Amino acid sequence: MAVLPPGGTFIDDDGNVHEGGIEAIAAAGITTGCNPPDNNRYCPSQTVTRGQMAAFIVRSLGLTQADQDHFTDDAGHRFEAAINRLAAAGITLGCNPPDNDRFCPDREMTRGEMAAMLARAFDSPPSSHDRFVDDGGHVLENAIDRIAAAGITLGCNPPDNDRFCPDQAIARDEMATFLTRAAGLTANRPPPRPFPVVTVVPREDWGALRPDTDRMIPHTVTRLTIHHAGTQSGTVGPAQYRGWQAWHMGGQKWPDIAYHVLIGIDGTVYQGRDPAYRGDTATTYDTTGHFLVVVEGNFEVETPSPAQIQSLEMVLAWASEHYGVSPETIGGHGDYAATSCPGRHLEDRIRSGELETAVESIIDRGGVELLWP
């Protein structure tokens, strides 16, 4: 088994329960990544499409033969060759029985469909054992039982694992583990990185609009400033951020979303405006020099989660080192304008020095790597 460098092949799967499987299929050439040409990301939480599934299986088996074009809806598709090879091998019939003249390459792959393809691809033997309670009468029940008997799947509800969730879409990290077991590969978990790593979700992954860079103003970061979302619309995460950006660019006529970094309610860190450019505010302070971090939530009435605080500390520690800015510059929006932002429950951590001390401690321990897209 190859010795992997700390952190392994990809930057966005550190600590993922399926990381060993991801490394196994990467070493076998079954996956190259999800962000060509760099391909340093695997996108573990993204769902697998039927076209991607075709490519995974074709690479796993080394299939090369395809003498005809089997389907009407994949002409010019990036996975067309793989789809035809899959069909030629009898691993797929199509997606629209009884005609089966379509493959639906961009449709999400369900766990049941995955079971059918893997059972055929790896010739899993028949099984008379009904393993799961939620697939009785399902059209793909036989295939599900076959891959369970072959040890390819354990179930979808650990630790009980008495359910398979046949109609649930399958994520790329789960798919890596299934392929590792089916192909008889050995999971290979890399050693951890020597310092904390925070992966930033790219703008394109949360659906950001293209910024109007012609109107953006370059600046040099000299201080670290925290905002909160305040009253929210009822949505959270990327849907919320798309709403913010639409208002900032449409209603406020700003060139992009106002903030450089966004921290979600679960602590996930998202890419905002390029920090090389000054942010924006609807209040009176000059944002030149401010590295703007917004934390999702209304911290006048709620308390930031431990995950949010940890991500905030990590982001600020990275920015402090990256820009050569002292943690002493950490402040809240309310330090520069007449506003309650970032909310009393977050402001308390700033005024008490607790946040500054935590950031200094992270830097003293070796710092943090922020993996920008």
pLDDT in tens, 294-306: 999 999 999 999 8
Residue 271 has pLDDT above 90, yes or no: yes
Q: What is the mean pLDDT of residues 92-120?
A: 96
pLDDT tops 90 at residue 239:
yes
In angstroms, the CA 9 to CA 41 distance is 8
pLDDT at 45: 87
pLDDT band at 147 (very low <50, low <70, confident <90, very high): very high
- How much is the pLDDT for 40? 86
pLDDT at 236: 87
197-371 is classed CATH 3.40.80.10: yes
Bridge-based pairing state of the strands 197-201 and 269-271: parallel
- List, edge to edge, every strand of the sheet that includes 331-332: 331-332, 223-228, 290-295, 261-263, 269-271, 197-201, 369-371
What mean pLDDT value characterizes the chain?
A: 94
Q: Strands 369-371 and 331-332: what pairing?
A: unpaired
Q: Is the pLDDT of residue 365 over 90?
A: no
pLDDT category at 226 given cuts 50, 70, 90 is: very high
Name residue 293's beta-bridge partners.
Answer: 226, 261
Backbone angles phi, psi at 371, to 5 degrees: -90, 90
Interior angle at CA 95, CA 90 and CA 100, nearest 5: 70
| pLDDT number for residue 13 | 87
Rounded to whole angstroms, the Cα distance separating 215 from 203 reads 19
The pLDDT of residue 348 is 94
Q: Is the pLDDT of residue 290 over 90?
A: yes
Q: What is the structure's pLDDT at 250?
A: 96
CATH 3.40.80.10: which residues of the chain? 197-371
User: Taking 80 as the threshold, does the pLDDT of residue 150 lie above it?
Assistant: yes
Cα angle: 294, vertex 202, 330; to 5 degrees = 30
Contacts of 252-260 spanning 24+ positions with Cβ under 8 A: 252/280, 252/282, 254/280, 255/211, 255/212, 255/213, 255/214, 255/215, 255/216, 256/209, 256/211, 256/212, 256/216, 257/208, 258/292, 258/294, 259/227, 259/292, 259/293, 259/294, 260/291, 260/292, 260/293
* Lowest-confidence region among 3-7, 131-135, 213-217: 3-7
pLDDT exceeds 80 at position 223: yes
Split at pLDDT 50, 70, 90, the class of 195 is confident
How much of the chain, in percent, has pLDDT values that exceed 70?
99
Token pair 């691993």 is found at 91
Question: pLDDT-based confidence at 58, cuts 50/70/90?
Answer: very high
pLDDT computed for residue 29 by the predictor: 96
- pLDDT tens digits, one per residue of 27-38: 999 999 988 888
pLDDT at 74 over 90: yes
Residue 283 pLDDT exceeds 90: yes
pLDDT of residue 264: 95
Read off the pLDDT band of 231 (50, 70, 90).
confident
Q: How far apart are CA 285 and CA 280, in angstroms?
A: 9
pLDDT at 248: 97
Task: Inform me whether the pLDDT recorded for 1 exceeds 80.
Answer: no
- Report residue 324's pLDDT band, with 50, 70 and 90 as the boundaries: very high
pLDDT at 339: 95
* 39 DSSP β-pair partners: none
In the predicted structure, residue 234 carries a pLDDT above the cut 80: no
